[in-house]
Amino acid sequence: MTVAYACGKVILFGEHAVVYGQPAVAVPITQVQAQATVEDAEPGEGITIIAEDLRRTYKLEEAPPDDPLRVTILNTFRRLRLSPKLDLTISITSTIPIARGLGSGAAVSTAIVRALAKHFDKYLASRAVSELVYETEKIYHGTPSGIDNTVIAFEKPIYFIKGSKAEIFWVGRPFLLAVADTGVQSPTKEVVEDVRRGWERERERYERLFEGIGKLAEKGRRAIERGEWEEIGRLMDENHSLLREMSVSSPELDGLVEAARQGGALGAKLSGAGRGGNMIALVTKETCGRVEMMLRMAGAKDVIVTEVR
């Protein structure tokens, strides 16, 4: 039996604008993770997929062509030069909430790729893992930016520009993020398509918003490298304002952002596609408890506090 894991992620700066060539900053969230287990099965059993959290068990050969797990497995076999005529049981579990902007789909795919490579004693570099997972991300998101698969495969803070090499960078001073779940699923594909339609209708306005968000991402990277917490928080607040102008926030997200700020957060914003999912707040050890309390009082379904280092 072989087991592999993959962490979640949050976008600190750059949602939506990253799809249009602007930079984004994302960091791994290690408090939640996906797990994939690969076991040899009896001869003639074929490949069985057990998605425990979805309470589904099915054969690979019976899955539809666009089934994300099927696509991930077959693409990995091709990369590893393995025949799909194998007898395996592949089990997947995850503590990453689905459709909350934490990279659940990319994490599950990454865990599967790692588990298969490990099971057959093959080596795949992080970039190769990222490329494989990106193909599955197209099923989940239509026109993905590529940021989820990159930050999860490398498990480091990254500065990302679509079509360019992702840059891993270092944190000048570790900081704490409170990640609060609205309890509302974020319809990522739908929101991304809505933004595209808006861009097609009002290209000048949206280009201005995208460029503004891109500049915040550039400044955000420098602030993180220098360990300037107050500046990071200020930039997060500005980023949320621009995302609101883009109509990708929601009353639930705005309510949690306000609650975090009232609790003493240095900054707060939505993270991910928006219209649901998660809000992130920059907190300190001194304000962490109060911010978490305020978020739960404001209706957060769950709050994760993670250190970025």
User: Counting Cβ atoms within 10 Å, is residue 268 exposed (0-12), middle (13-18) or buried (19+)?
Assistant: buried
Rounded Cα distance between 24 and 132, Å, is: 21
Q: CA torsion, points 153, 174, 254, 182, in degrees to nearest 10?
A: 50
Task: Say if residues 58 and 39 touch (Cβ distance below 8 Å).
Answer: no
Catalytic residue selected from 67, 148, 181, 237: 148
Contact (Cβ atoms closer than 8 angstroms) between residue 185 and residue 98: yes
Whether residue 32 contacts residue 95, with contact meaning beta carbons closer than 8 Å, is answered with yes
- The β-bridge relationship of strands 175-181 and 267-271 is unpaired
Rounded CA separation 29/307 (Å): 8
Task: State the amino acid at position 82 in one-letter form.
Answer: L
Structure tokens at 137: 């991300």
Task: Provide the β-strand partners of residue 89.
Answer: 39, 48
Asked about 121 being catalytic, the answer comes back as no
> Active-site residues: which are they?
148
